[in-house]
Amino acid sequence: PNPQSFAQYTPLAQWLGTLFMFLAGVNFLLQYRLLFGREVRPILKDAEFRAYAVLVLVSALLLALYLYTHHLYGLEPSLRHAFFQVVSIVTTTGFASVDFAQWVVPAQAILVLLMFVGGSAGSGAGGVKVVRWLVLFGFLRREITRTLHPQAVLPLRLGGRSLGEEVLRQVSVFVFLYTLLFATSTLFLALLEGDFVVAFTASAQAIGNIGPGLGPVGPMGSYAELHPLSKVILILEMWAGRIELLPAFLLFTPELWRR
């Protein structure tokens, strides 16, 4: 516990923090099978884990390349800060090894985009979750193919398994609710705070339970100076995002209270 987060810890501690944050974003069932069943193949064959690992690797390397080529840090610090921040954002851990609110916009943009990804299903991470994005991208690819071949029978598959339309419906509803709550909250926060960057990133971090945003609400900043109504909005977003949205929206359904 430190007001400067991991920025006050040694480089080794930051690398170890990166490793364990990454593990916390992996499906716990896969980790259990690896630790107690000594089964490596299920992890390597899992489509979500592969996508999660590739996303972290590519995003961190891209960010490290930008930090290094623009002379913000040396090679090792660039890699360390890039991997730490990418993993922290994706796994919604909330730690920071450096005040990335002071970075240039392109570097910040990578982290902001990652706020909408989340970790693996069955992990400690919040956010949309990698598997939901895989399902949506699979659906998009299927619909593009169906446009070219209208008579083709194209089952939706993930990791070699066929997914029913019920799964697609549930994922679509979740992402729609996620987007609706995020957009609405961002609008009200922008009206209250008069700062779109703060409104956008504060709303994104709250619904994903990520922690830091940009500007005054960055990793070394605080939400203390926000308008009281802004804090209420963020509290509701954090609560709804942590319980996966649908139960929260159900509470506002009149049919539920008439039973």
Residues 2-26 pLDDT 10s: 778 898 899 999 999 999 999 999 9
How deeply is 175 buried, as exposed, middle or buried, from its count of CB atoms within 10 A (0-12, 13-18, 19+)? Answer: middle
175 three-state secondary structure: helix
150-185 pLDDT, tens digit per residue, is 877 777 888 777 878 888 889 999 999 999 999 999
Burial letters 241-252, b for 16+ CB under 10 A, else e: beeebeebeeee
Give CA–CA dist 199/196, Å, rounded.
Answer: 5
At a CB cut-off of 8 Å and minimum separation 6, what does 245 contact?
Answer: 174, 177, 178, 181
Specify the pLDDT at position 259: 66
Q: Supply the DSSP string of 44-73, one letter for each residue.
A: HH-HHHHHHHHHHHHHHHHHHHHHHHTTSS
Give CA–CA dist 113/51, Å, rounded.
Answer: 16
Specify the pLDDT at position 248: 82
Phi, psi values for residue 81, rounded to 5°:
-70, -35
pLDDT averaged over the chain?
Answer: 90
pTM, 2 dp: 0.90
27-45 average pLDDT score:
82
131-148 pLDDT, tens digit per residue, is 999 999 988 888 888 888
Give CA–CA dist 33/27, Å, rounded.
Answer: 10
84-106 pLDDT, tens digit per residue, is 999 999 999 989 999 998 898 99
Tokens of 114: 């990652």
